[in-house]
Amino acid sequence: MALLRTPMAIFKLGRLQLPEGVLGGRGRGDWGWTTSRVAFHSARSLGAAAAAPGAGGDGLAGVDAGVSLVQGASRGLGLEFVRQLLEKEEGHVIATCRNPENAGDLSSLKDQHSNRLTVLPLDVTKETTIEEAAKLISQEHGRLDLLINTAGILHVSNLKVQPETALSKVNPEAMTLVYQINAVGPLLVMKHMAALLKKGGGKGTSRPAAIIANLSARVGSIGDNGTGGWYAYRASKTALNQLTKTASVEFARKRDPIVSILLHPGTVDTDLSKPFQRNVPQGKLFTKEYSVERLLGIINGVDAKDNGRFFAWDGQEIVW
């Protein structure tokens, strides 16, 4: 996978100086707090300049039928992933969220694509709901070819979860909740969907294997942390990176036809970034449509050598 190397701008976030694009793109999701989203598909190039995945194109042309799961799809990037997958490929899409009855935009998509979209309840803090969703998918489809895995919070006012600007503001209860949602949740979804992904393996699609794409964030990088702050969120995303990498090693050791990657979507115009958007440099606040298209382009270029790697929206690999 060829990568674009671009300088990193710095912008102010409250009292913090944070790298440009570290927020990630999230939308207020099934919890009433902000949730993150993730992605998939098969191969494209940037063109004459460089072959960086995600640099252009629709990201899905030529992809055959498969079964894709978008976890956390009620709104934000998750909903946009569902929309683009339905629009640009021919396979079946399964969208999950905590309360489908309250997901109006997702219901509208279901009305438009009743034969190709299944909506299921799934709560990443309740493992039984994940297990039940896996059973239903097994009964109806017997396979998965893509897992778009999302679960993430940064700020939840009514639960007193806020990005910490100083060590004195660290709250152990808030840290535990953030870790549960941002790290343990995606891992449990991987745990229960792995057998279905192994059965799918990308067979009958244009992809070389089944794909797990976990949405992370640049602030989860230890090597890239030059600004500090955001203790709970940073640590939870670092944990997600380690868990995804560890799973990728297991998949490779067992020769399972599964490739797992981590993606940073940039700073996207969603509820997660709203409190901080005034500090984003001009041209660096992305629409959901743009970010999802770029992420799908990255996934289009995935092959076995990318198993366990961490990419930004522009195709640049992020240091651990």
Identify which of 70, 59, 75 has the alpha carbon closest to the alpha carbon of residue 94: 70
What is the set of domains in the chain, with CATH numbers?
21-312 (3.40.50.720)
pLDDT per residue rounded down to tens, the chain (320 residues): 443 333 333 333 333 334 444 444 444 333 433 333 333 333 333 232 233 433 334 444 444 579 999 999 998 999 999 999 999 888 999 999 999 999 999 999 999 999 999 999 999 999 999 999 999 999 999 999 999 887 777 877 777 888 889 999 999 999 999 999 999 999 999 999 999 999 999 887 888 999 999 999 999 999 999 999 999 999 999 999 999 999 999 999 999 999 999 999 987 766 565 555 567 677 777 798 999 999 988 887 899 999 999 999 999 999 99
Structure confidence at residue 189 (pLDDT): 98
Structure confidence at residue 206 (pLDDT): 83
What whole-number distance in Å separates Cα of residue 262 and Cα of residue 311?
Answer: 6
Cβ atoms 52, 44 nearer than 8 A = no
What's phi and psi for 67, nearest 5 deg? -120, 120
Structure confidence at residue 229 (pLDDT): 94
Structure confidence at residue 61 (pLDDT): 43
Structure confidence at residue 205 (pLDDT): 83
Q: Residue 123's CB: how many other CB atoms inside 10 A? A: 18
Q: Which residues of 255-287 are buried (b: 16+ CB within 10 A; e: fewer)?
A: ebbbbbbbbbbbbbbbbbbebbeebbeeeebbe
What whole-number distance in Å separates Cα of residue 288 and Cα of residue 25?
Answer: 8
What whole-number distance in Å separates Cα of residue 241 and Cα of residue 25?
Answer: 17
